[in-house]
């Protein structure tokens, strides 16, 4: 397996790294303390060309691959995990899913303003009573003439309070269960749509998260994405890529926590010498580095599996790798950030040191895009699927 990045991939990585450290870095205290999203954030993302990485050039995209998207989020997450998550929800969860699954008319209408940063995107899946059980969503969509009427509530929606364009899932045939789900593009100005509240989070501050309400929300029938009752295909295919991309965010957080810890261990002196000379600190740093690098490799391999699946590879391998990537990377990031706090001691627990923010931010990726528990269930299911099939044929 070739682990060398292409020139284009390396350019994306370097461009985002430089922009994030130079322009987002000085804003981090304000972003975290005030739960503030810089008003020009999406415009700046568009200027450096990262809002449409995986989308066709005719819509304003780069026509790149999932690894390029992952690299962008990894580098941004080293500086601002919250804004990286907001970027991912816009570019991957919303725009890329539209690009993959919508018809030409919808793509031509909605993708250019999303890729140019004129519009903000979001994905509306999770509900108050349908989190891990995504197939149990209760939002209904009933077709009446040339419109669908949506009723229901979505919760924990990244970019929900500010989104102009949302990809929303609803039941069009509740009796069919998972086979009765459809996907729709909803605009914030459609009658019956509203944001009921912005949620307060302990981490990922600066990334707006909200609760959305659909009360007889009128959606043009032409805004159906794919076929009616085939939304589960849109949902599941998008989740694999979502998990890979967000896993890269965990890699970025772990990497930065490690870098802070190395510098602190060299600078901080106790008992007449730098704490980097103490074996217990050395062990922590070595383990932090090893787990971070292992996370990076599994995330990159999963991103490559997306390209193989597009060329006819096995979908079960992609699903297994995607779940494994975010399971391992997210738990690694939480652990590495926790070790970083320990190395920094009392200073690490103070708001003036950045490791505490990474620590608060990292935990979310053990919950979002399917909890660690759900990811383990997915991996086990994929591992045993073929064995059960062989057993039934004996």
Considering only CA atoms, which of 157, 171, 149, 173 is closest in space to residue 223?
A: 149
Decide: 253 and 355 in contact? Cβ < 8 Å: no
Q: How far apart are CA 262 and CA 257, in angstroms?
A: 9
Encoding tokens for residue 70?
């992952």
CA atoms within 13 A on the CB side of 301: 17
CA distance readout (Å), 171 to 135, 136, 167, 182, 185:
9, 9, 14, 6, 14
Helix, strand, coil abundance in the chain, percent, nearest 5: 60, 15, 25
β-strand 224-225 against 269-270: which pairing, if any? unpaired
- The structure tokens 């040339």 sit at 146
Burial class of residue 40 in the structure, from the number of CB atoms within 10 Å of its CB (0-12 exposed, 13-18 middle, 19+ buried)? exposed
Compute CA distances 295 → 10, 45, 179, 204, whole Å. Answer: 19, 26, 34, 21
The one catalytic residue among 74, 127, 242, 382: 242
C-alpha to C-alpha distances, 367 to 44, 179, 284, 352, 362, nearest whole angstrom? 29, 25, 25, 26, 10
Tokens matching residue 138: 């209760």
Q: Where are the alpha helices (DSSP H) in the chain?
A: 7-19, 28-34, 41-47, 66-77, 81-88, 97-101, 104-115, 231-267, 279-310, 315-344, 355-362, 372-393
**139, 110 in Cβ contact below 8 A?**
no
- Nearest to residue 134, comparing CAs of 105, 113, 156? 156
| Number of alpha carbons in the 13 Å side-chain half-sphere of residue 242 | 24
Residue 242 falls in the annotated catalytic set: yes
DSSP 8-state code for residue 191: T
Residues annotated as catalytic (active site), given as ranges? 242
């Amino acid at each position: 397996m070739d682990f060398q990045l292409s020139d284009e991939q390396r350019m994306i990585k370097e461009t985002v790294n430089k922009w994030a450290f130079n322009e987002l870095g000085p804003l981090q205290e304000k972003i975290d303390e005030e739960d503030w999203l810089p008003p020009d954030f999406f415009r700046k993302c568009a200027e450096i060309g990262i809002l449409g990485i995986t989308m066709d050039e005719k819509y304003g995209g780069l026509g790149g691959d999932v690894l390029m998207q992952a690299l962008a989020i990894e580098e941004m997450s080293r500086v601002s995990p919250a804004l990286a998550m907001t970027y991912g929800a816009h570019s991957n969860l919303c725009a890329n899913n539209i690009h993959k699954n919508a018809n030409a008319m919808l793509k031509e209408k909605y993708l250019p303003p999303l890729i140019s940063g004129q519009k903000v995107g979001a994905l509306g899946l999770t509900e108050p009573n349908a989190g891990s059980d995504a197939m149990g969503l209760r939002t209904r969509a009933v077709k009446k003439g040339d419109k669908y009427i949506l009723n229901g509530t979505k919760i924990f929606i990244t970019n929900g309070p500010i989104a102009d364009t949302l990809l929303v899932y609803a039941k069009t045939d509740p009796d069919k269960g998972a086979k009765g789900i459809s996907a729709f593009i909803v605009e914030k100005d459609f009658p019956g749509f509203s944001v009921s509240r912005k949620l307060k989070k302990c981490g990922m501050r600066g990334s707006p998260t909200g609760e959305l309400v659909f009360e007889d929300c009128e959606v043009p029938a032409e805004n159906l994405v794919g076929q009616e009752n085939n939304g589960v295909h849109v949902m599941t295919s998008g989740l694999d890529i979502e998990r890979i991309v967000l896993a890269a965010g965990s890699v970025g957080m772990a990497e930065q926590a490690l870098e802070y810890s190395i510098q602190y261990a060299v600078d901080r002196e106790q008992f007449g010498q730098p704490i980097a000379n103490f074996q217990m600190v050395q062990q922590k740093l070595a383990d932090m580095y090893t787990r971070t690098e292992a996370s990076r490799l599994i995330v990159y391999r999963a991103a490559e599996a997306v390209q193989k699946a597009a060329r006819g590879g096995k979908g079960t391998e992609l699903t297994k790798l995607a779940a494994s990537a975010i399971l391992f990377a997210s738990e690694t990031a939480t652990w590495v950030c926790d070790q970083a706090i320990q190395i920094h001691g009392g200073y690490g627990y103070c708001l003036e040191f950045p490791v505490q923010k990474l620590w608060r931010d990292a935990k979310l990726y053990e919950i979002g895009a399917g909890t660690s528990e759900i990811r383990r269930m997915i991996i086990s299911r994929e591992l045993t699927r073929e064995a059960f099939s062989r057993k039934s044929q004996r």
